[in-house]
Amino acid sequence: MKLRFIKGVLNLNAIIINHGIVPELVSEKTAEIVNGLLAERDAFNFSRYDLMETPVQFIIEDALTIPFLSEYKVIVVKNSYLFTGEKPRIAVEHHLDQLAEFVEQYTGPNIVIFEVNHEKLDERKKIVKNMKRLHQVNKIDAMDEIALKKWVKQQLNDQFKDIKQDALDELIQLTGADYKLVSNELNKLLLFIGDDAVIVKSHVERVVSRSLEQNVFLLTDYITTDRKKEAVTLLKDLINMKEEPIRLLALISGQYRLFYQTKILSQKGFSEAQIAKQLKIHPYRVKLALRKASKMNLSEILKVINMCAETDYQLKSSYMDKVLILELFILSI
């Protein structure tokens, strides 16, 4: 089908891609753009689609429809994986030739915003090259620890609230500097303190839940500092929280692999930021891993990684109680 493009004023930002590894930040960027374009949203000037559910040709048809009762329409398209190398198994059939023609020729007046939950687009694709050449591509980076703390302070200042530095440090630590977790826990803290003006550390300790990742990091901290009793107690707590032994072992093994990788890269002269980029993980995780790995040698780390592999085999093949196998593994390190 040959596309028919609306004749109108050239709009170089008629198509926008917002992409990044943190979906919530990508959505925030989209909302910021939409709010700047529309005073109010209604069925005449705003549409939302999902490429996992809707064929791209239907979305293009909507974009080519002349706006009704408004100067232009804004169309948001979630899960726009077509600009990446991802190939999900879905029943929807997309006509990629129409999307390619749309990107090459479309000039408005409607605005189409594609949300891509990936750090990188597939630069090998012609459609990505044309998007960068003809339209607007926004990369939304994950917040590092400093940026996240600044964001928390700003959110609180907007509500005439504040947070003590030790409370802020504790919040970041308990959430693993995960933006979504920080945002959710901050909302809980605001409800908890009510009319109080300042969040203190005791508030954070009472309200904020430790993330699974942070629990596993704490578990490995107990193991590496020979606090086996605390390690076993925490393990049982996690089991009581319905965490599977095999999954916990996989997370412990992953933590030790991270210790090994960060230590190797650090010895090669990589900075924390470079290591985070190389391993494609949050800089805060690198910071914590390097702090722990600096107190261990590579042979010790490799020994534990091998023990993890042996324990994994036992968990999958032995008739012994799986929790007991995991306890014995911790006690034997």
pLDDT digits (tens, 9 = 90+) for 181-235: 999 999 999 999 999 999 999 999 999 988 888 898 889 989 988 899 999 999 9
Tell me which architecture the domain covering 212-332 has in CATH.
Up-down Bundle (1.20)
Fold of 15-139: Rossmann fold (3.40.50)
CB within 8 Å of 313: residues ≥ 6 apart: none
DSSP code at position 99: H
Where do the domains of the chain lie?
Answer: 15-139, 145-207, 212-332
Share of the chain above pLDDT 70, in %: 96
Q: pLDDT confidence of 9, banded at 50, 70, 90? A: very low
Per-chain mean pLDDT for the chain: 89
CB within 8 Å of 132: residues ≥ 6 apart: none
Task: Return the number of other C-beta atoms located less than 10 Å from residue 242's C-beta.
Answer: 6
Q: Which two tokens stand for residue 273?
A: 């930021």
The string of pLDDT tens digits covering residues 136-164 is 999 998 888 899 999 999 999 999 999 99
Q: Tell me what pLDDT residue 255 has.
A: 93
Multiple choice CATH, 145-207, 1.10.8.60, 3.40.190.10, 3.40.50.1470, 1.20.1250.20: 1.10.8.60
CB within 8 Å of 29: residues ≥ 6 apart: 18, 20, 138, 140
Residue 10: strand, helix, or coil: coil
